[in-house]
Chain A
Amino acid sequence: MNDWSRIAPQLLDATGETLYMVGVATALTVLLGVPLGVLLTITAPGALAPHPLVNRVLGLVVNLGRSLPFIILLVLVAPVTRGIVGTTIGSTATIVPLTIGAVPFLARLVETSLREVAHGKVEATLAMGARRRDVVRTVLLPEALPSLVAGVTVTVVALISYSAMAGAIGGGGLGDFAIRYGYQQFRTDITLATVVLLLVVVQLLQWAGDRWARRLATS
């Protein structure tokens, strides 16, 4: 059991892989999920740019994405992953299902945040002669920013848990590590060590996200 000197660097590598997957997936998720959330919000009945059909279709897509268990999604999007990355194994390949799984999740959170912005603020801005895109840019997003940051934090934490699950099918990172060493070689200590690492990462992210959101809300 005195192989920790061999295992520790590998554990560190696995942590790095997890952060890489989650980091890139978070960036892509924000890039896609925020506009999707904005569209969901403004096309709703009585909102800034009501469009029942678009709203209905987007809502359906988002609900589908959200109701699918991530492990099923992993398998389902494998062909897409292979098309984009060329393989379905490893951390880079895992970014694709992670992003696809997290975009609908974030989009709903964004929608909820934007809906919280008082309609009066939107009206006051329209009354100034603003275009609708100006309302999104200068009112909806800035006014909802603290809540959006909180939503992204929740999404990152969910991505970490998804990424650990992706380890089950060779996705790399801490989940992969825990399964290969901890589970398959009956090394409970290794499993525990990865769990502790995951916990620390999640705690740190949550703390940083909360702090940021709070600073935005009070500044």
Chain B
Amino acid sequence: MIELSDVRKVFPARRTAGEVVALDGVSLSVARGEFAGVVGPSGSGKSTLARLVNLLERPTSGTVTVDGRVLTDLDAAGVREARRSIGMIFQHFNLLDSRTAAGNVEHPLELAGVGRTERRRRVADLLDLVGLADRHASRPAQLSGGQKQRVAIARALAARPSVLLCDEATSALDPASTTGVLELLRQVRAELGLTVLLITHEMSVVRAVCDSAVLMSEGRVVDGGPLAEVLARPDSALAAQLVPAPAGSGVGGDLVLVTVTDATPHGAVLQTLTAELGLSVEVVGGSVETVAGRRFGRLLLRVEGDDGRLDPALARLRAGGALVERAAAGDPRPQSDADDTPRPDREPDVQRLADAPDVQR
């Protein structure tokens, strides 16, 4: 549905700043009906990526294809036409203060030349859909942040788009409104068969709604894939952010990181370590998250009494489908506080990112 192929975006040098390579050869493909997330540190090019999809920003090179149409080949009128089938919502809602909620939803319909009676009917349906049937006449200033974003969603859906772009759509909302808006997004995705590309810096948002995600760093996609697949890869940088590995610093002994998913064998790891090898095992940390509707956990175990049989045992467990690996004390992976706060200063684990496959799905 959305195809970016080897897209580069270079912002030319200005008087105040040098040239910026915002996107450095990004290829990305989002299937019809998919709910795809884009995460990454501040300045990694997430917003630029989203703005390329409806050509608010023209790529310096590379092609953008949406619903089979190569947008980068279209003339201005063609681009305007194509934009009607791509809705977009923003962090700061961008509603018009001079219009009521209904007037805002009506705006794209006016621009598309839809007749008055049809517009009225559509606005009523849309405000109903987003749960604001009683706020037709409210001005944006009289609405809460969550309500404003609902109006913005209704507006974005007015022209019956097939794609919805969300750039930090919940970043200005409190947790309760965030949950509400995310639920609404999932609902409209299911009801209208939308393809959604969601930009966020909040891992909790990705965990709650996305089917797949990509991790960006310095203008490149460095990791990504369907979440279930990403999480099953113990060395995935994206997985490490989605479900951070527990910290093991200051703990002696052998550390073993166990990743638990729906697909991993139940109980096999502890059974092997304690009953078979007779090792003493202690849980030093753990985190469990529900991701894309499935439970997913990481456990950090401290193992004492290894007489050389631990590594072969781990290998055997891996062969049996378990996700186990040795972890170094003070594993430098991002911890859980990487969640929910943009950390422009945090350098990604360069080593691991370099090893990660350049994801193209």
Contacts and interface: CB of A to CB of B under 8 A. Distances in A.
Interface of A: 118, 120-121, 123-131, 134, 138-139, 142-143, 145
Given A120-B90, A134-B111, A143-B98, 4 more contacts: A121-B96, A128-B155, A130-B80, A138-B96
B36 to A, nearest CB: 18
B136 interface: no
A138 B111 contact: yes
A138 B107 contact: yes
B238 interface: no
Given A127-B56, A129-B83, A120 B94 contact: yes
Interface string B210-246: 0000000000000000000000000000000000000
B103 to A, nearest CB: 10
B96 A139 contact: yes
Interface string B146-161: 0000001001000100
B112 interface: yes
Given A128-B159, A129-B80, A131-B80, A123 B108 contact: no
A138 B95 CA distance: 12
Nearest to A145: B98
A120 B90 CA distance: 8
Size class of the contact patch on chain B: 20 to 34
Nearest to A139: B96
Secondary structure class of chain A's binding surface, majority of residues: helix
Contacts of A126: 56, 83
B111 A124 contact: no
Interface string B99-114: 1000000011011100
Interface in B74-128: 80-84, 86-88, 90, 92, 94-99, 107-108, 110-112
B238 to A, nearest CB: 28
Contacts of A134: 111
27 contacts: A118-B92, A118-B94, A123-B56, A124-B90, A124-B94, A124-B95, A126-B56, A126-B83, A127-B56, A127-B83, A127-B86, A127-B87, A128-B84, A128-B107, A128-B111, A128-B155, A128-B159, A129-B80, A129-B81, A129-B82, A129-B108, A129-B112, A134-B111, A138-B110, A142-B96, A142-B98, A143-B97
Contacts of A130: 80, 111
A128 B94 contact: no
B94 A121 contact: yes
B54 interface: yes
Contacts of A118: 92, 94
A121 B108 CA distance: 13
A85 B82 CA distance: 52
B54 A127 contact: yes
Contacts of B96: 121, 138-139, 142-143
A114 to B, nearest CB: 13
B274 to A, nearest CB: 58
Contacts of B111: 125, 128-130, 134, 138
Contact of A127 (B81, B88, B97, B112): B88
Interface string B249-277: 00000000000000000000000000000
B84 A129 contact: yes
Which of A125, A127, A143 gathers most chain B CB within 10 Å?
Answer: A127
B110 A120 contact: no
A88 to B, nearest CB: 43
Contacts of B152: 124
Contacts of B94: 118, 120-121, 123-124
